[in-house]
Structure 1
Amino acid sequence: MKEQTSFYTYPGRYASEHGELEQYRASYRANISCKEVIEHSITAHYGNNRLDPACVKQVVEQFGHERVFYVLANTVRQKDFDGRISHDNKAWAKTIPVCEDPDGFGGDRNVYFVVDRPPHTGLTDLFLTQVRKAYDLEQEKKPSVRDALGKASVQPAQTTAKTHKGQER
């Protein structure tokens, strides 16, 4: 069952100024929920020094790629110092826009949806790698719009016009 909360990309201050606090709060709660489901999924699917790829499917089906990517990019950015996160995943995280969201006391609200429960940050890195691979495979399976348009223009148009006897021009 997919989480139905829309993804809100602006910080709390912006939401407050533009009358969008409810959307912000709902999306923020969904980010925290996504983080918790990721943590639970990693814990449940890790065994024998292996992370079962089924955990990725479960989380993505529930929250969608956009929110999962946002939570994971935020996590990697918050743990940029950690050497257990691959350079590829750190570089990828910088390509995902994550808004700074300071609270009224100068703290960072984004720390509340940092994946940090698995006993080892390396498992979070492995999970992220699997999410990215699954996404890439999914994108390869989808036909591109360009290909679909190309196939449509190559196929000859079928005409249904019939000529009747006695109709000559």
Structure 2
Amino acid sequence: MIHTEIDLGDQFTAAFRRYPTGVAVITATGPDGPVGLTASSVASVSVTPPALSFSVMGTRSARAIVEAPSFVVNLLGPHHAVLAHDFARPGRPRFTPEQGWDVLPTGEPVLAGALASLRGTPLHLVGVGDATVVVAAVHEVILGAGSGRLVYHDREFIAHADETP
């Protein structure tokens, strides 16, 4: 059987659709105001010093985040499925009061109800194909009171609330 590059790309996409991941909204202040996007590529890189990574495509919001001096990775909980959809699609509501946004003293938008919010600055930007991998130093961690999880799997946001015994 002969596999072409297109087949490999389709298989690669199908493989990662089968792999569930956590969901975050990454925010920054761009030249025209707050920007944000939904990401399922956030990963811990190092504890000492604290560092994380994520990848973004070439959208307007992604370019503004990559160019920003700092940003916030807001880790989403089960009650954030609609918010994840809003930040994953153009033209949807963003940074509305109903969504629960606040602003850190350093100027970045932060989701007050996030499971955790991590403020970071870029250490390395690595271009890979049509994506940019961002490796970032973490300078501040804000732990939220929420529990449960929001998972992205097979093009769906799936909410799981922790059950009380």
Relative to the length of structure 2, the TM-score reads: 0.23
Kindly name which structure, 1 or 2, has the bigger radius of gyration based on alpha carbons. Answer: 1
Instruction: Report the structure, 1 or 2, having the larger strand content.
Output: 2
Higher helix share: 1
TM-score, normalising length: structure 1: 0.22
